[in-house]
Structure 1
Amino acid sequence: MVTYLGVDLAWGERNRTGLAALDESGRLVASSTVRTDDEIKEFVDQHGRGDVVVAIDAPLVVPNETGRRECEALLQAEFGRYDAGAHSSNRSRPWLNPPRGEVLANRLGWDVDPTVSPGPGRSVAIEVYPHPAMVTLFDLDRVLPYKNKPGRTTASRRSAFLVLLDAMEELCEEPMRLRTQARWAEVRTVITAAERPMHLAAVEDEVDAIFCAYLAWLWARQDSALRVLGDARAGYIVVPGPPRRAPGRRSAVPGGAVTVQLGHEIWERVHKAAEQRGLTDAELIAKALDALG
């Protein structure tokens, strides 16, 4: 038996870590957020049955004392124009000396060498980064702006989150069957009703972890489109192939920029109109834009 885990790992135990588990068929069976390594282990012990394949959004191999890893430079060269570059990782940062991901993998017996294929008697973990993976897999011209950054309102982030959820349901329905999962419906409800950053923060890491779990499932496929930038000696990041679209100047979320300008009230009218027509917010806006030419 093999199960697939996604971990959106925080730098330390004060912040939220998102966790998700897929069963042997790839169906989402559990997701949540925790804080401590002991809580992570409890989740893994409960849901990581048999051999596990784990995709972790956090540095696993950081041998360099300063600067950045070569894999981060390679990622920047391919995905930087899409706003999907990675932060520099080095051991001068206390939280990376050693990396929490490395400590966790050692504790749980996960092999972090990406040349070691998943198989019977082998549990493996890989380092992933959701933003560039989303750019390629969702065929975007820019990252989805759902993270909390200056200049983004709760309304604009909520719209970006909803586009992300729609894209995940479309791409990951096989095998995860998200539309039938009660917890996924609860996450969507939280995001749809969010009025403050704290409401989105409550589920952000969990959504990222669910996407990471999908990457873990992809990694175990023999025909996987995922590849390794870097290596186990100097550090690596597993990503899909390069972006298929040219980088765009506007937000990747249809209507995302105008959402900021029009404000919460008008956006709620858009959302209500979409529901009445049986469309997602993104589909309604796309139809409106098409009508405008």
Structure 2
Amino acid sequence: MPSTTPRRFVGIDLAWASRNRTGLAAVDDSGRLVASAAVRSDDEIDAWLAEHAPAPTVVGVDAPLVVPNATGSRPAERLIGSAFGRFGASAYPSNRSIPWFDPPRAELLAARHGWSVDPDRDTGRGVPVCLEVYPHAAMIGLFSLPRRILYKKGPDRRAGFLQLVTHFETLRELRLQESPRWTEIVRLVETPARGDLTRIEDEVDAILCAHVAWLWHHRREALQVYGTLAEGYVVAPPPPGP
């Protein structure tokens, strides 16, 4: 009998440690944003998923997922650097000598929920697929940006966030104008109080991660895999050319 559970695609901007904020977002099968939030602990992540996406089709997680190397960086990070470094979006190196990557929190999250981390797995086979994604590379590729937007740091984060809001609203599938939470995020960006931008940045990243997860199922040709399952990988669009 076919499942009656609505299809969901999840984005997780996963903090490397539970003391920091994790952004969460879910979109439906049409790509529309249905929920987003920021939490901290594993229990809060699990509770949010149970409420909004108990059986996701694809999960896009912004955090190291497959980290087999003891030292140095993964080939995936070098490939991302080669593709997106000129846009200011190289990837942070990850290896098992760094305590919070041994094991990576994303690996534990996927195992806890029974998600496959194999990007070659068919997303229509009933087992959720969890992919490592990278919002900065996704923004550059999807929006054809000449340079990474400085919304996480820099002299004028609000200007960066205003740019980001404008670009996000071009992703018509998200239907952000219909989302009460997005309306609140835009209000915070336009007139931020102290700390507001920091409090929403992970949630905003998670929304993009959810869109990338949706693309992986519906428009896979828009994305590519940088690296391999054996050595670690990142899913992102190709960079703008030439």
**What band does the TM-score fall into relative to the shorter chain?**
over 0.9
More helix by percentage = 1
Question: Could you tell me whether the CA contact under 8 Å between 2:9 and 2:29 is conserved in 1?
Answer: yes
Question: Could you tell me whether the CA contact under 8 Å between 1:136 and 1:244 is conserved in 2?
Answer: no
> In 2, Cα distance between the equivalents of 1:117 and 1:190?
39
Q: How many residues are aligned here? A: 237
- Pick 1 or 2: higher relative contact order, CA cutoff 8 A, min separation 6: 2
Cα–Cα, structure 1 residues 205 and 220, in superposed 2: closer, same or farther, change >3 Å?
A: same
* 200-209 or 216-225, which deviates more: 216-225
Taking only aligned residues, the RMSD between alpha carbons, in angstroms, comes to 1.2
Residue 24 of structure 1: how far off its partner (Å): 2.4
The correspondence for 2:16, drawn from 11, 30, 34, is: 11
Correspondence 1:83-122 to 2 at 5 A: 83-122=88-127
Cα–Cα, structure 1 residues 63 and 77, in superposed 2: closer, same or farther, change >3 Å?
A: same
Question: Could you tell me whether the CA contact under 8 Å between 2:222 and 2:237 is conserved in 1?
Answer: yes
Question: Could you tell me whether the CA contact under 8 Å between 2:29 and 2:214 is conserved in 1?
Answer: no
Residue 136 of structure 1: how far off its partner (Å): 1.3
Give the partner amino acid of 2:184: E
Name the larger-Rg structure. 1
| 1:215 partnered with 2:212 | yes
> In 2, Cα distance between the equivalents of 1:47 and 1:24?
13
> In 2, Cα distance between the equivalents of 1:50 and 1:73?
33
Give the partner amino acid of 1:209: A
> In 2, Cα distance between the equivalents of 1:78 and 1:211?
19
Residue 49 of structure 1: how far off its partner (Å): 4.3
Gaps of 5+ in 1: 246-293
The corresponding residue for 1:132 is 137
3-state SS of the aligned residue for 2:38?
Answer: strand
The corresponding residue for 2:237 is 240
The correspondence for 2:33, drawn from 28, 34, 48, is: 28
> In 2, Cα distance between the equivalents of 1:161 and 1:222?
27
Question: Could you tell me whether the CA contact under 8 Å between 1:19 and 1:32 is conserved in 2?
Answer: yes
Question: Could you tell me whether the CA contact under 8 Å between 2:9 and 2:213 is conserved in 1?
Answer: yes
3-state SS of the aligned residue for 1:116?
Answer: coil
The corresponding residue for 2:162 is 162
Question: Could you tell me whether the CA contact under 8 Å between 1:51 and 1:119 is conserved in 2?
Answer: no
The corresponding residue for 1:275 is none
Gaps of 5+ in 2: 1-5
Q: Which runs of 4+ in 1 moved over 6 A?
A: none
Residue 218 of structure 1: how far off its partner (Å): 0.3
> In 1, Cα distance between the equivalents of 2:125 and 2:68?
29
The corresponding residue for 2:224 is 227
3-state SS of the aligned residue for 2:11?
Answer: strand
The corresponding residue for 1:200 is 197
Residue 169 of structure 1: how far off its partner (Å): 0.4
> In 2, Cα distance between the equivalents of 1:186 and 1:124?
31
With structure 2 as the length reference, what TM-score do the two structures score?
A: 0.94
Residue 101 of structure 1: how far off its partner (Å): 0.1
Q: What's the % identity of the aligned pairs?
A: 50
